[in-house]
């Protein structure tokens, strides 16, 4: 039967008789318009689809962002469905759809196909809008709706069409099994076939800071025919690079922002010092050194240590770090069939926790280092030291490496009048400092947990040991180290922290590769990169010794540049660029760089100079100094991208020279930091009145109590928490804001004074004038009313 003949017969049939001839008509229609999405009889209660079956965890459907399916407009061929049957009554159709939505059988069937209550509701709203707003529907669904109107079909017959629509707006439903296979992160050792093809010797050098563990590993590195050093910081990679070449062992340098080859012809040297993220897992070496192996647990960067540990192709792999990582490393190496030899080292010089706190900056001595955990504290302490006629060096995380080294050199120089160091925990790694005594200004440090949440808690034992260990180093002039606190009340807590055993490391970090994300995008082409990452992490499966690293920084960059047209691979690279998301200028620069790239416009040196408004003036206050630090980070970003997209970022050598010049300007600014602080205070750009000893003591005591209560709760498990003590109010919001550097004691006093004044005035006005009615002017207070 031809299609025109079928249509003519269908149109001539009375409505009541059409149902009897449905099979013949549908058969003819299929020959011309293809199969219907499902049987046109009642939908049976089928078993769950394979994508919803299996032992995998249920996905977090809140991550599934629905795509938009536009209603159909007028068709060039007319409304074939209406010609075959009749035009649909939209009111009747709406009733049918509402009945369909409310049926428990349909909801259960949808759940079997992966549509939980949330997805079912969203899919139905979209499906209903599509049906009601389309000028003409596909022939198959038009016929079904018409048959349901005449009770020739059951409302359940809509389910195949609903499911087809649901898979259009939630494409993840169609490919869940494939996505689970792609995001399967189990058995990571198998990702590195080159390393598995050789039998490696694993040697773990375990010990505290200043125990010589890294020294012994580096000696093996230098004596080998070829080697790679993997460090956590650019400063450490630079140090090994310089030591190696000074020892007559040609060594290249590879960091995210820099490549230095020492051979005149540009050929790669047999030795290389690199940051851990940059190590090659395909190049064969005789010896590899992985420094600070305990960072394998880092919530954001741990994946790089896991990759190096499992993937380096070296006959000998030397690991340096804390004993807390031994058990985990042994377990991981068991899965590769490799044994771990542990060499234990003891500290070379003694270190003593003093029985008294510093209490006052008047008690400072040459060789002292005050460790703060906020920039505001750094500025405040530096200013107070300068008031006492002393000179101090300053080191904190956001300073350029050159400036940190310059400040360290100034502090270490016996002929320089600078004998005091004020620093953050940035001194914990990468700098050789001649420190006699470490003084913890506070024991509270903001941190980011594995979920990306900010926490404000006492420093961990590992952090305390790392920082305290900088005192009395073997290579410095001080052969004995001392540790204490600024406040007397913190001293017992410090002892407690230092005496606690370091918690063993339980898991190693993992990270999705660009290839895995590309395969995800193939299945979900209309999903944003940030959403792809969320779905990947949710679908991922890991073995018990691993975890997926926090990717909030990646997602932040992905959302920042989402609207810019870039290929997925390019977008992925831009998102892995290390930026400080707290610096607005750095974030806007990433956006601007991506925009230029998308236009295929190379970012030349002259363009960059105009963008950063070079030449830059020396800083006149602290804000200027912070702005210069941000510009330095932008130049770092350019250099990082220049090694990934050399054609689009062609002037790396000029930018590096420019960065060195900027580093000099920043060094001069930091050298005069106390003057900048003073000017900033004068112009009310900064208020750094330090906490009084009494205020700090109260705050420290409260934090100590809080830490003990936390530990008690953890140890006791189900034991009921004790009611707060009489000083529970001390750990108030105000105290926490002061500790974070968002408020100072002076600001707090001023706020209290203003509040009390307003309260007193308001009380007097109420007393004198009674309750004010709306629009009544308040009585003016008499001059002698007080």
234-249: per-residue pLDDT in tens?
A: 999 999 999 999 999 9
Contacts of 17 (CB under 8 A, 6+ apart): none
Average pLDDT, the chain: 84
Class of domain 61-173: mainly alpha
Domain residue ranges in the chain: 61-173, 188-344, 351-499, 555-683
Lowest mean pLDDT among 46-60, 152-166, 343-357, 707-721: 707-721
pLDDT above 70: percentage of residues in the chain = 79
Q: Which helix (H) or strand (E) holds 229?
A: strand 227-231
Q: How far apart are CA 204 and CA 417, in angstroms?
A: 41
Angle at alpha carbon of residue 22, lines to 21 and 27, rounded to 5°: 105
Mean pLDDT of 604-627: 96
Class of domain 555-683: mainly alpha
pLDDT band at 265; cut points 50, 70, 90: confident
pLDDT band at 681; cut points 50, 70, 90: confident
pTM for the structure as a whole: 0.80
**Closest to 27 (Cα-Cα) out of 40, 14, 17:** 40
Is a pLDDT exceeding 60 seen at residue 318?
Answer: yes
User: Is residue 576 classed exposed, middle or buried when 0-12, 13-18 and 19+ CB atoms within 10 A define those classes?
Assistant: middle
CATH level 3 topology of 351-499: Rossmann fold (3.40.50)
Chain segment 150-194, per-residue pLDDT in tens: 999 999 999 999 999 999 999 999 999 999 999 999 999 999 999
Is a pLDDT exceeding 90 seen at residue 597?
Answer: yes
- The Cα-based distances of 505 to 131, 319, 331, 420 in angstroms read 56, 15, 11, 35
Is a pLDDT exceeding 80 seen at residue 322?
Answer: yes
CATH level 3 topology of 188-344: Rossmann fold (3.40.50)
Chain segment 457-466, per-residue pLDDT in tens: 899 999 999 9
**Cβ atoms of 509 and 549 closer than 8 Å:** yes
Mean pLDDT of 433-453: 84
For residue 150, give the DSSP letter: T
Q: What is the DSSP string of 73-110?
A: ---TT--HHHHHS----HHHHHHHHHHHHH-HHHHHHH
Contacts of 206 (CB under 8 A, 6+ apart): 213, 321, 322, 323, 326, 342, 343, 344, 345
Mean pLDDT of 626-639: 97
Q: How far apart are CA 371 and CA 425, in angstroms?
A: 7
Decide whether 188-344 matches 351-499 in CATH topology.
Answer: yes
Mean pLDDT of 312-323: 97
Contacts of 505 (CB under 8 A, 6+ apart): 294, 296, 297, 324, 325, 327, 328
The two three-digit tokens of residue 524, written as one number: 């979900």
Chain segment 189-209, per-residue pLDDT in tens: 999 999 999 999 999 999 998
């Amino acid at each position: 039967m031809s299609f025109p003949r079928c249509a003519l017969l269908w149109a001539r049939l009375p409505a009541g008789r059409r149902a009897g001839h449905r099979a013949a008509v549908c058969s003819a229609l299929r020959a011309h318009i293809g199969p219907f999405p499902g049987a046109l009889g009642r939908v049976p209660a089928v078993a769950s689809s394979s994508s919803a079956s299996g032992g995998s965890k249920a996905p977090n459907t809140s991550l599934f962002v629905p795509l938009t399916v536009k209603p159909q407009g007028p068709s060039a061929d007319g409304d074939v469905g209406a010609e075959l049957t009749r035009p649909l009554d939209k009111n009747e159709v709406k009733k049918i759809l509402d009945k369909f939505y409310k049926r428990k059988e349909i909801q259960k069937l949808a759940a079997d196909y992966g549509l939980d209550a949330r997805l079912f509701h969203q899919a139905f709203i979209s499906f209903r809008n599509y049906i009601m707003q389309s000028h003409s529907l596909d022939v198959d669904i038009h016929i079904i709706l018409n048959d349901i109107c005449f009770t020739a079909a059951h409302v359940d017959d809509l389910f195949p069409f609903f499911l087809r629509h649901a898979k259009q707006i939630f494409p993840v439903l169609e490919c869940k099994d494939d996505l689970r296979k792609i995001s399967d992160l189990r058995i990571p050792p198998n990702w590195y076939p080159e390393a598995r093809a050789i039998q490696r010797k694993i040697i773990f050098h375990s010990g505290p800071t200043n125990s010589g563990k890294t020294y012994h590993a580096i000696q093996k590195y230098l004596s080998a025919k070829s080697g790679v050093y993997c460090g956590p910081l650019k400063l450490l990679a630079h140090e090994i690079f310089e030591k190696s070449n000074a020892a007559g062992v040609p060594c290249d340098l590879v960091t995210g922002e820099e490549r230095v080859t020492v051979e005149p012809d540009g050929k790669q040297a047999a030795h290389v010092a690199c940051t851990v993220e940059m190590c090659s897992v395909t190049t064969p070496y005789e010896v590899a050194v992985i420094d600070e192996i305990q960072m394998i647990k880092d919530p954001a960067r741990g994946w790089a240590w896991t990759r190096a540990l499992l993937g380096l192709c070296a006959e000998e792999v030397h690991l340096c770090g804390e004993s807390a990582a031994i058990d985990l490393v042994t377990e991981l190496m068991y899965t590769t069939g490799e044994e771990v030899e542990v060499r234990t080292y003891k500290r070379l010089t003694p270190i003593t926790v003093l029985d008294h706190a510093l209490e006052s900056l008047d008690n400072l001595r040459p060789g002292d280092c005050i460790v703060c955990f906020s920039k505001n504290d750094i500025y405040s302490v530096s200013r107070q030291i300068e008031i006492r006629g002393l000179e101090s060096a300053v080191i904190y995380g956001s300073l350029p490496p050159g400036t940190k080294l310059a400040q360290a050199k100034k502090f270490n120089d016996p002929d320089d009048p600078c004998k005091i160091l004020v620093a953050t925990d940035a001194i914990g790694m990468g700098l050789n400092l001649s420190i006699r005594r470490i003084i913890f200004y506070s024991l509270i440090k903001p941190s980011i947990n594995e979920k990306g949440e900010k926490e404000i808690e006492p420093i961990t034992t590992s952090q305390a040991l790392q920082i305290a260990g900088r005192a009395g180093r073997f290579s410095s002039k001080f052969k004995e180290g001392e540790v204490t606190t600024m406040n007397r009340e913190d001293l017992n807590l410090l002892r407690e922290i230092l005496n606690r055993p370091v918690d063993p490391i339980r898991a190693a970090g993992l990270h999705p590769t660009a290839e895995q994300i590309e395969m995800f995008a193939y299945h979900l082409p209309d999903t944003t990169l940030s959403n792809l990452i969320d779905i990947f992490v949710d679908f991922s499966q890991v073995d018990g010794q691993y975890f997926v690293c926090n990717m909030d920084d990646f997602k932040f960059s992905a959302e920042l540049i989402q609207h810019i047209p870039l290929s997925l691979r390019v977008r992925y690279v831009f998102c892995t660029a290390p930026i400080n998301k707290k610096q607005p200028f750095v974030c806007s620069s990433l956006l601007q760089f991506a925009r230029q790239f998308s236009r295929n416009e190379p970012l030349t040196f002259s363009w960059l100079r105009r963008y950063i408004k070079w030449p830059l003036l020396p800083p006149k206050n602290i804000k200027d100094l912070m702005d210069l630090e941000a510009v330095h980070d932008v130049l770092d970003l350019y250099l990082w991208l220049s090694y990934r997209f050399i054609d689009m970022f062609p002037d790396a050598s000029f930018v590096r020279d420019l960065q060195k010049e900027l580093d000099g300007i920043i060094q001069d600014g930091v050298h005069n930091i106390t003057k900048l602080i003073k000017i900033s205070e004068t112009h009310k750009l900064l208020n750094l009145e330090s906490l009084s000893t009494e205020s700090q003591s109260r705050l420290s005591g409260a934090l100590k109590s809080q830490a003990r209560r936390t530990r008690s709760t953890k140890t006791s498990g189900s034991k009921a928490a004790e009611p707060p003590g009489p000083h529970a109010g001390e750990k108030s919001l105000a105290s926490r804001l002061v500790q974070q550097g968002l408020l100072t004691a002076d600001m707090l006093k001023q706020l209290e004074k203003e509040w009390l004044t307003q309260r007193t005035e308001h009380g007097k006005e109420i007393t004198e004038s009674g309750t004010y009615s709306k629009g009544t002017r308040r009585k003016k207070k008499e001059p002698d009313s007080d």
